[in-house]
Amino acid sequence: MRSAVLAAALILAALPGVAVAQAPSPAPPAPVASAPPAVAPRVLPRVRLVATGGTISNRRGGRLTADDLVASVPALADHATVQAEQFANTGSSQLTLEQWLGIARRVNALFRDEPDLTGIVVTCGTDTLEELAYFLHLTVRDRRPVVVTGSMRNPSQVGYEGQANLLAAVRVAADPAAAGRGVLVVLNDEINGARDVTKTDALRLHTFESRGFGSLGVVDGDRVVFRRMAEGRHTAASEFDVTTVAALPRVDVFLVYQGAPGDLLKAAVDAGARGLVLATAGAGAISGTQNEGITYAREKGIPVVATTRAGSGRIASMREPVTSTVPAPPRLAAGDLSPVKARILLMLALTRTSDPADLQRMLNEY
């Protein structure tokens, strides 16, 4: 029977115009799913936090530590691997010059010993933050960024902005574009250069500004934006090495005001001051008997540097102070440096030289 069926099928297939159903072809084998390519884990920049205290840590009932600060901002982990260390925990006005030297040496040591370190954030009280930042600007011998930050409100106050400032500072320190711009000051999502920034208001959050020059950039939600470089010599190009400096020389600052006595300048010299800075009126005017104090200082070989108390503007090199009666002796000019920053530069300069021409060169270059 089976043979007859097969024979009939063969006869039909041989007839023209007759279609015979074919057995279906076997299905092709299913493709084997391949494993997705391995994705390398993201390597975050490494940032060191060096905490010195200040309002950002001054919680009611006890100061926050460096570790407390990092723990309070979980978003830091999205931008960098942050390691914290406590250098001090006090108000900025209580930091000593010896501690300034210690902070500079510590920052330099971290950069020297940890080549994979991307940047360093230093927390500081805002009252003298601009002074510490400028000191580090002159004494840190590395291109990698050092960012100084703090807060105007303490952790126990409504509207405490310390966490936001710390996050912004870490983002800047972790950004490759921050390298080579000197020490930076980051608060209120603005980036200012240490040389030009100053605290402009005793209470308001928007207090740090670079009068006459503007900020270097901003910290936005999507990225860090830089718009200009910091001019003048600083950090890796600085000639100041504090490795072996045991103490900074004494330099005092004097305000020019109507009828100011010169005996205060004389007293400072007699007490051991190795340099004097005058915050002159306008573009170099002095008053009262200050001219006598300047003469006394110069006769003893003490350099006198002129700045302006106006808040902005330059004192031109070798321009003489103006009085209505007696011509003043020659003195040095700090350009557009503020009085407190001229003091810092003069202290460091005096660790290297007392030659007036060389001192003026440094005032011009930094």
The pLDDT of 314-320, averaged and rounded, is 73
Mean predicted confidence (pLDDT) in 201-205:
97
Q: Which residues, 6 or more positions from 365, have their beta carbon under 8 angstroms from its beta carbon?
A: 232, 233
Query: Interior CA angle at 287 toward 286 and 291, to 5°?
Result: 70
pLDDT at 324 over 90: no
pLDDT value at 24 more than 80:
no
* Annotated active-site residue in 52, 55, 118, 280: 55
Q: List pLDDT tens digits, range 157-190.
A: 999 999 999 999 999 999 999 999 999 999 999 9
* Residue 126 and residue 54 in contact, taking contact as beta carbons nearer than 8 Å: yes
Instruction: Determine the average pLDDT of the residues in 86-103.
Output: 97
- Which 3 state secondary structure label does DSSP give 11? helix
Domain ranges of the chain: 46-237, 251-365
The identity of residue 292, as a single letter, is E
Smallest CA-to-CA distance from 134 within 316, 280, 343, 362 is with: 343
Q: Do domains 46-237 and 251-365 have the same CATH topology?
A: yes
pLDDT reading at 308 higher than 80: yes
Among 3.30.450.20, 3.40.50.40, 2.40.10.10, 3.20.20.70, name the CATH number for the domain at 251-365.
Answer: 3.40.50.40
Structure tokens at 89: 């925990």
Q: What CATH code would you report for 46-237?
A: 3.40.50.1170
pLDDT of residue 31: 60
Give residue 21's pLDDT.
46
**Single-letter residue type at 266:** K
**Residue 55 is among the residues annotated as catalytic for this protein:** yes
In the numeric block, the tokens 């099928």 are attached to: 9
